[in-house]
Copies of this chain bind each other. A is one copy, B any other.
Amino acid sequence: MLNQQLDRVYAALADGSRRTMVDRLTRGPATVKQLAEPLTMSLPAVLQHLRVLEESGLVRSEKVGRVRTCRLEPAALQQAEQWIADRRAGWVHRLDRLEEFLNENEGESS
């Protein structure tokens, strides 16, 4: 459940165009046109990226009149950050263990 959501968030971030879109949205809401502007691809392609971002939960959008306005959903971003932070924390804790010292110095005599 949560695992699949993490899959989608990381998969969404694994594309430069989508990261550009996310980056733009950190500076405030934007229309589809505005999100497309810095990208060198057709509008339908942008729509498909947007769909990936929405399905990952990173972005939410709402249509008013003929304009769709997109905004960031920081909870999903935080979830992805947290997973990494937790693992890095575990790794740091391991650094304190004697076992590593022993492994690194195994058979070192001269």
Chain A residues with a Cβ under 8 A of chain B: 3-4, 6-8, 10-11, 13-16, 19, 22-23, 26-29, 72, 74, 77-78, 80-81, 83-85, 87-88, 90-91, 94, 97, 99-100, 103
Stoichiometry, copies per complex: 2
Please list 13 pairs of residues, one from A and one from B, whose beta carbons are closer than 8 Å in the complex, sorted by A's number.
A6-B19, A7-B15, A22-B87, A26-B90, A26-B91, A27-B94, A72-B91, A77-B84, A77-B87, A77-B91, A78-B88, A81-B81, A81-B88
Residues of B within 8 A of A88 (CB): 26, 74, 77-78, 81
* Chain A interface helix/strand/loop/mixed: helix
Looking across the interface, which residue of chain B has its beta carbon closest to that of A56? B14
